[in-house]
Every structure is written in C-alpha cells, then in structure tokens.
Chains A and B, each alone.
Chain A
C-alpha cells in the first residue's frame, strides 16, 4: 500500500476532489498529487485519463472533453507515471502528477479533470443486459501569468415559478444567469432582497453564491439561491416566542438582486428584479369560505326580514 490511506467506507474515492494551484509562470512546473482509494467490495483495475473541463450552457453541468478543444483546458500539460493500475480491495494509491506550462501558453484560467475509471469488472454476458461503469474525478484549477480579462454579463434573474400555491411548504428558488466573457473564472456575489413594494422595507436578504461557485471563462451558468421558509409555526429565540410570519405571506412580492461581478475589469453591482406571487391554498380557502359565509348570512337575513 503506498500513498496516503483514506478511511472511506464505500466506493471508489479520491482525495482531494479538487485542487486549486496558484498562478503559474510560462515554462513553469507545478506538482500535485491525489490519493485514490478502493473501498469497493472487490479488486479493481483503474484507468487514469486527464480531461479538459467545460461547463454546459444552462444548468451548470460539468462535461469532460477528451479532446482539448476547450481554449482554457489544461489536460495536455498534465503528466503522470501510470495511466493504468490495479487496486486491491481496501487499498489506496497516491498518484503524483506534474503540470508543465508551455512558454507559448496564453494567460488566464486553466482547468482539467483527472478521471479515474474502473475497467469494467463484469463481462457483458455476465451483466446479461446492462453493464454499469463508474468513474470519479479530481478537479485541477490554475492560472497562467499575464494579462487577464475579467468581464461577465448578468443576463437574467427570475424565480422557478410565478405563483406559489403551496407556500410555505414550497421554497422560492431564484435563478440568475451569468455569461463569462473573460479569460479567468468569475465568482459573483451580492444579495437578493425580498419585499412588497419598498426595497428599504425588505424582510428577507439572501446572500448570493455563498459557495463561491465559478463561471468558467467563455462559458455561462445559471446559479440558484433558495428562500426556504421556516417550517415551524411558532419559534423561540433570544427575542422570545414568535409566530413565524412566513405563514402569513400573501400576495405579490418583488425580489431584487444586486449582483457583484466583473465588467470590463471593474467590480460592479448590477441590479435586476422579478415579481412573483405567494398565494397559499389555505389562505385562499379561508378567504373564499369567509366570503361564502358572509354571502349566505346576508341572504339569510334578507330572507328572514322580508
């Protein structure tokens, strides 16, 4: 057994799952390592292959491109000793790798994934209908020195539904769409304010992108935040006993996002808003019942008096 042993109770594991290197010079070399552990119930053969990293247009998805078509891909600059090896059940192996930046490399962000795939352990005949393969990746992020461009566009902002009838059981999901036109990753920040009509009276403030998710260069991504109401009708806090006012939210609301991002090299705050409705079914039912009761009572009185 070599390398660092990681106590993992199941599956094929990598540690660390993501490695961010500091900015590298052209011609420079950086070294890294990843430990892969076999916690499956059998011995396996593993292939190791670098892929360039890309992100889909809309859902923030991760795609692995074997060809280095992504301008900001790093895979062709990564080298390691063993691209195939065996791991016994319970065994770990440390994989050392080097990143060598060419002298001609363009400045900016560079990204790759080292993917550990299990060579299929059952034949198709054994699998009868379906064979299932699995792989797990080690993400590598770095930058090449030089003039970088930080520039992104805040495209749109909305909620996943226009009307929420099942509030507060439902959560309100906010989606904001960013296009990165720069040469390094964009990490947006900011706040979402929720209010009725006056932003200075906002009753909810959500932090944007607390997880510091990246929009890779020349890519676009829809990020999300959620307003999750408290599920308890009555709560106790340092301020005493309180009724959860989220249960009584009703009508049209406005959410304004103040998004901090880079535009032409400057950190700017862009603002957009979106209107949505909270129409909880139980409050609608109460109002309808109230109106029906009122109408019946009026009719009854009129009939009685006449």
Chain B
C-alpha cells in the first residue's frame, strides 16, 4: 500500500520539475538575441576619426562585443583602400583590449599588411561585452588623403562591423562655440503661476494645522546640476532675539522627522523635491523625511545631478515647500514672523 502514494508523489514532482524545466528553457531562449547583426564600430582617437595626410597616426577604434573573448580568439582588421605601406602596431601597443587593467592579447606584427592585421587573444576579456574592446593600429606616414574604412570580424563568427577614418581635412570648416553654464532661481506660488516672497500661515487655531506653500524653481544647463540651501533668521517668533531654541516667544520648532499635529505647538516644513528634466533630485540630509525644523544656519535642502529646464508653469520639475504650524493652549497671542533664505549654487 505504501508504494502507491510515493509513486504519485513522483509523478507530481516530475510534473512540476518538467514545468520548471520548460520555464527555464523559455527564459534561456528568449533572453538571447533573436537575431544576429553587425556591431557598431567607432573611432575614439583621433577625434572624429580625422587626421592629417602624410602623417603617421595612431587610430583607436572599438565596439561592444556580443560575448567576451577567450584565449585563442582573434579579431581580423581590414583597411580599404590599400595603403601605400603596411600598418604597424601603435606607439603603445594594444595589450589590454577591454580596459580591465589585465593583458588580453596583441597584434601579431608579422601579419600587418597594407590592408590590415590580426589581433590575437591570449587570455579572456572581462569587459568586452560592457565597456567594449578597443584596438589601436598605426597608419603609416605615407597615407594619402582620402576616406578609409576599417572593418573588423572576429574568429567566433559572431561580431563584424566597420567604421571610417577621414585623412586630410582641406574641405573641413571648424565651427567652435562655447555655451556658458547658466543658473536661474525663482520662488513661485504653489501653482507656479507668479513670483512670491511671502508665505501666509493665517490665523493659527487649536483645531487645525495651518499651512502655506511655495515652489523653488531652478533652471540650469550645467551638467552637474545645482544645490539649494536654506537658512533662517531664527525661529518663528513674536519678539525677542532670534534663535532656534524653543521659548515662550516662539512657535516651537518640531523635532526632526516628527509631524506637526493640531493642538500641539510645533512648526516645521515639508519638502517635496520634485523632478529635474535632465537629472535626479535628492532631498538632502534631514529633509528627506518630513516634517523638518527650519534651520537657522545654512543647510543643504536638495541637490540635482543634471540639467533642469522647467516649463512656464511646472509643478513637476520644481520643489514644493510647505510650512506647517500648530499651537496649543499655552501659545501666546500675537504676530509671529520669520525670514527664510534660499540660495542656489552650481554643483561641482
């Protein structure tokens, strides 16, 4: 009697394992390329693939390979049209083809001709499929003006492709332009419709948390983005000397990462950093959680790592600051004020 249930278990196990096997195979098949194609070969040096005629020149070119290469693989390089004299190895020969700081192989110097050469791998690459392989060949000083193709094909039959180099530049026109980095900063109302320099919390009462909001709007074309910092002239206070410490004359600053609650005296800000059109916005330090007391010394509020070009009215690529205040029965009546200052500087 005991054998029959075990046999059933085996059947179920076989069924599930078969299912798993099928799923794994489907994933394996589909995670590979469904079609093969040439690779994108490009010249990294000289710039633009251009160099002067009748000048011996090192030419570095490369591509991202489909697979890493191993010992015994090779890449055949062909140059067309044929050069007046043979190619040679570069001044600094290519030994580390993929830039991982380990030697991968060499150009077989005996195979350099007027129309190509061969790079032989003597050990495995690690970055050929991510950073790519970059090879350097030296065009001879006899190279005349013209457009030459450099084509590559590897011994595995997987990757092939070509690029061009331009020798002689008599017909080129050099155009240069400099674009200065620009930084612009505005404080806008919460809908980003008008400039503002005030935030009205209104009449505070025991039953609600009073709020007011505005937006920090920054434009920059600088690639490293910008940093916005915040400071204040002291706490939200009725009179007396400015200062951040709780006292009878102020609305007490809340503790970091606590929430302003109706009926409990407290004051702080909430930040929604928003987005940047060409980078990521990071709420810095204590401001990555809300609510946060308003500092009275310069403190970073948010930073970006790229461009930002908000639209005319943009509630996405701007940061929203909300001041939140509540009072309790011990809060003295009067008018409470504070000055908050924001500064923006390029990130570098």
Contact = CB atoms under 8 A, between A and B. Distances in A.
Contacts of B182: 6, 8, 13-17
A238 B40 CA distance: 8
A214 B347 CA distance: 9
Nearest to A126: B198
Contacts of B32: 242
A135 interface: yes
B30 A243 contact: yes
B333 interface: no
B185 A129 contact: no
Interface residues of B, number: 88
Contacts of A304: 8
Contacts of B347: 60, 62, 213
A129 B80 CA distance: 76
A63 B101 CA distance: 38
A42 B272 CA distance: 27
Interface in B119-141: 124, 126-127, 129-131
Given A136-B185, A213-B347, A241 B35 contact: yes
A176 to B, nearest CB: 15
A15 B181 contact: yes
B41 to A, nearest CB: 11
Contacts of B220: 17
Nearest to B192: A10
B236 interface: yes
A43 B73 CA distance: 70
B171 interface: no
Contacts of B92: none
Given A18-B222, A63-B229, A211 B305 contact: yes
Contacts of A240: 33-37
A130 B201 contact: yes
Interface in B296-324: 298-300, 303, 305, 312, 323
B284 interface: yes
B130 A203 contact: yes
A43 B213 CA distance: 23
A248 B27 contact: yes
Interface stretch (A99-107, A113-121, A162-170, A273-281): A113-121
A81 interface: no
B219 A301 contact: no
B330 interface: no
A50 to B, nearest CB: 13
B49 to A, nearest CB: 19
A238 B340 contact: no
A16 B181 contact: yes
B127 A202 contact: yes
Contacts of A18: 181, 222, 346, 348
Contacts of A118: 197
Contact of A200 (B5, B126, B188, B284): B126
Nearest to B66: A239
Contact of B184 (A11, A41, A226): A11
Contacts of A252: none
B345 interface: yes
Contacts of A306: 1, 5
Contacts, number: 260
Interface string B181-215: 11111111000001111111110000000001010
B8 A301 contact: yes
Nearest to A211: B224
Interface stretch (B9-17, B50-58, B81-89, B256-264): B9-17
A16 B131 contact: no
A230 to B, nearest CB: 13
Nearest to B123: A200
Given A139-B346, A305-B4, A306-B1, A11 B339 contact: no
B348 A202 contact: no
Contacts of A129: 198-202, 212, 236, 323, 335-338
A212 to B, nearest CB: 8
Contact of A131 (B183, B218, B223, B339): B339
A127 B187 CA distance: 14
A64 B343 contact: yes
A10 B186 CA distance: 7
A41 B193 CA distance: 11
Contact of B186 (A17, A40, A113, A212): A40
Nearest to B4: A305
Interface stretch (A21-29, A72-80, A147-155, A290-298): A290-298
B112 interface: no
A118 B196 CA distance: 13
B341 A133 contact: yes
A241 B33 contact: yes
A205 B130 CA distance: 6
A136 B305 CA distance: 17
Given A131-B198, A132-B198, A302-B9, A239 B33 contact: yes
Contacts of B184: 8, 10-14, 37, 39, 136
Given A61-B300, A130-B323, A305-B8, 14 more contacts: A15-B180, A16-B180, A61-B284, A122-B198, A127-B337, A128-B201, A130-B339, A131-B340, A136-B185, A205-B127, A238-B39, A294-B12, A294-B13, A298-B9
9 contacts: A14-B184, A17-B183, A62-B227, A128-B201, A132-B196, A134-B197, A211-B305, A248-B31, A304-B8
Interface of A: 6, 8-18, 37, 39-42, 56, 59-64, 113, 115, 117-118, 120-122, 124, 126-137, 139, 141, 191, 193, 199-205, 211-214, 226, 238-243, 245, 248, 258, 269, 290, 293-294, 297-298, 301-302, 304-306
